[in-house]
Structure formats: structure tokens, C-alpha cells
Structure 1
Amino acid sequence: MNITVLAVGVKMPHWVNEAVADYAKRFGRQIQFQLKEIKPEKRGAGVNAAQGMAAEEARIIAAIPNHAFLVVLDERGIAMTSAELSGCLKQWQGNGDSVCFVIGGADGMTAALKQRAKLMLRLSSMTLPHGMARVLLTEQLYRAQSILDNHPYHRE
């Protein structure tokens, strides 16, 4: 199964890249995990939030793998437990789906991009820094797979 995370933003702190890489290598052979950074649009000098999100949307859409099940992260999305995410992962694997998660930019994502998604997911009701969202998502995907594998990483 292929999992792609598209994250608006570049030049994350070292600890973010290190943590994401650590969880990504734990997936093993059953999941091919890839994080793609999307260049954020510069604000100011006549570029407002709406224009910036539209430019980022075009970059995101261009990076979405063909036929991927699209999940956008949004504070208004549904909240899942780790076990529920594991159930989704099992279903996607059973369907042979590739999955693409999108973490938007500082101003969020356009309504049109959210409407393209098959699932809107909330990691937290609190606002998270983008780097933390990358780490948390990657860890939760690893945790979901560990649940499916009956690995002792997850404890109830």
C-alpha cells in the first residue's frame, strides 16, 4: 500500500524530519510511505490569503497520486480513535487503495480542495504547528498499522 503525505511548508526543524523519518522506516515492506513538501505561496506584496491558498491548491492537486483516496486534515473534520484509523487503513488496504493525506498551509485549504476529499480528518481540536501535525499523523498511521499487525506498540 502507498501512503503519501502532502504537506505545505518547507524547511521544517530537524526534529520534525527526524521523527517523521523514524516512524516512516518502521512501516516495513507493507506500506510505502512518502512525504512530499509543497512550497507555500508567499504572502504580502499583493498576495492575500485566498490567492495564496489557490496557488497552494494548484501545487497540491498536481502532487496527488493518480487514483489515490484523498484525505484532508482539517480542524472541522471527523475525530477518530487510533483503532478507528486502523479500521480505515485495513479497508484501504483491502480495496488496494493508495491514500494521500494533505496538510494545508498556514491559512488552511480552499473549500474546493476540501470538497475533493473523500474524508476530512481532524488530528486535534487544538491548533497544531505544521511540523507537529506531520509527526502526529505519521505516528498515528504507524500506530494504526501496528494495531493491524497485533504489534505491542499500541496498548488499550
Structure 2
Amino acid sequence: MKVTLLLVGKTTGRLFSEGIDDYVRRVNHYVPFGVKVIPELKNAKSLSEQQQKEKEGELILKNIEDRSYVVLLDERGKELRSVEFASWLGNKQQTQRHVVFVVGGPYGFSPAVYGRADDRISLSRMTLSHQMVRLMFVEQLYRACTIMRGEPYHHE
């Protein structure tokens, strides 16, 4: 199974970038994993929230292959403990060839993106910055990989 993290806008901040890069390298030890960045919209300030979501949604959908299993990282998604996420990921390894996790823009996802999604996962009930979500997700993906292999990174 191949895993992709699809992001709207580049990661800002050296500490976030370095942390994400570190976990991307770690995850690649277990599964083929990459991060794909959709550039931020030009002149976004001149667009309404809805217009931004629609335009970002079009770009997100253009970057997803038809057969990919799409998971939105969304505040209204299901919350999983790390062990549960590892089990969920293990099940997807058995049934999917490509899983794409998507982090949307500042206003969330368009109805079209919600319609394309196969699943939604929330990383927290708290509101997190889009930069923080990226780092937290790649760490949790790495943690899930180590749990599935029975390695000592995760402690109950």
C-alpha cells in the first residue's frame, strides 16, 4: 500500500518542516509514503470563504487518482486512539493500494471534496493549526507503523 499526505499550501516554519521531514523518512521505512503540496490560491484575500473552499476543492480533486481511498483529516471525523488507528491502517493495507490523507485549507473542505471522501478522521477535539496537524499526523502514522510491527516506540 502506498500512502500520500495531500496538503493545501506549503508548510511554514523550520521546526514544523524539519519534524515532518524526519517522520516522512521514518514512515518510508515501513510503507511508500510521500507528501504532495497543492500551492495556495493566488489572490485568496479577494475570495469569500466559500469561493476559497470551492477552488481548493477543485485542486484537491485534480490531485487524487480515481482508485485512491481518500481520508479527510477533519474536525468532524472519527477520533481514534493510536492503537485503533494502527488497526485501521492495517486493515487498509489489506484492502487498498493507495490511501490519500488530505489536510484542507483554512476554511475546510468543499462539498465536492466531502462527497469524494471515503472516510474522515479527527486528530483532536481541539482546534489545531494546519501546520500542527501536518506534524501530528505524520508522527501518528509513524507510531501506527511501529505498533503494527510490535516495535517499542509506542507505550500503553
TM-score normalised per structure 1:
0.93
Residues 62-100 of structure 1: CA distance to partner in whole angstroms, max 9, x if unpaired? Answer: 111341110001111110011111011111111243100
1:77 is aligned to 77
How far apart are 1:11 and its partner, in Å?
4.7
2:27 is aligned to 27
How far apart are 1:29 and its partner, in Å?
4.1
Q: Which amino acid aligns with 2:125?
A: S
2:101 is aligned to 101
Unaligned 5+ segments in structure 1 are: none
Q: Which amino acid aligns with 1:101?
A: F
2:17 is aligned to 17
* Partners of 2:23 and 2:142 within 8 A in 1: yes
Counterpart CA distance in 2 for 1:99 and 1:44 is 32
Q: Secondary structure at the match of 1:61?
A: helix
Percentage of identical aligned residues: 35
Q: Which amino acid aligns with 2:93?
A: Q
Unaligned 5+ segments in structure 2 are: none
Moved over 4 A (4+): none
Residues 130-150 of structure 1: CA distance to partner in whole angstroms, max 9, x if unpaired? Answer: 111000000001100100000
1:60 is aligned to 60
* Partners of 1:39 and 1:56 within 8 A in 2: no
* Partners of 2:69 and 2:96 within 8 A in 1: no
Counterpart CA distance in 2 for 1:77 and 1:96 is 20
* Partners of 1:4 and 1:34 within 8 A in 2: yes
1:135 is aligned to 135
Residues 6-44 of structure 1: CA distance to partner in whole angstroms, max 9, x if unpaired? Answer: 111125111111111111111244311111111222323
| RMSD of aligned alpha carbons | 1.4
2:148 is aligned to 148
TM-score normalised per structure 2:
0.93
Counterpart CA distance in 2 for 1:142 and 1:66 is 26
Q: Which amino acid aligns with 1:9?
A: G
* Partners of 2:9 and 2:40 within 8 A in 1: yes
Question: How many positions carry a matched residue from both structures?
Answer: 155
Q: Secondary structure at the match of 1:44?
A: helix
